[in-house]
Amino acid sequence: CKSCGQTGHKSARSKECSNYKAILDEALKNEIGGNYERFTRKVYLEAVIRPECKELFTEKIIKLSAFIRNVLFRTQLFVSAYIVNNKDSTDLALITQQNFWYAISQLIMGQKITN
């Protein structure tokens, strides 16, 4: 395991790993038992945000959304070009791996590729 260095499992997603982090349902079951009910309440943004914070909050959400859209668009272009340029390759399984997408995101954002 890359996370804890022990054998018998491959990643921290395994319950055998000492660095395993329980998913929400498991954590709730461990903390309060199995007799609980989860629900979601939907409310309008205007009902929960302070009027004096609304404009700044909205601006930040719009800016973050534009950034994410920009990164995803450039990533799609890059990967499409990669597929077209390597269409005769027998090993395009690389594009299904998380490390590939992480490296592409780093490249797109001008960061050093760490994997």
Tokens for 54?
């609304």
pLDDT at 1: 84
What share of residues in the chain are helix, strand, coil (percent, to 5)?
Answer: 55, 0, 45
pLDDT at 77: 92
Tokens for 59?
């601006």
pLDDT at 10: 87
pLDDT at 97: 87
Averages of pLDDT over runs of 10 residues in the chain (115 residues) are 87 88 85 85 90 94 95 91 86 85 88 86
Cα separation, 86 vs 83, in Å, equals 5
Global pTM? Answer: 0.55
C-alpha closest to that of 71 among 96, 104, 108 = 108
Q: Which region, left, alpha or beta, applies to residue 9 given φ > 0 means left and ψ of -120 to 50 means alpha?
A: beta
pLDDT at 55: 93
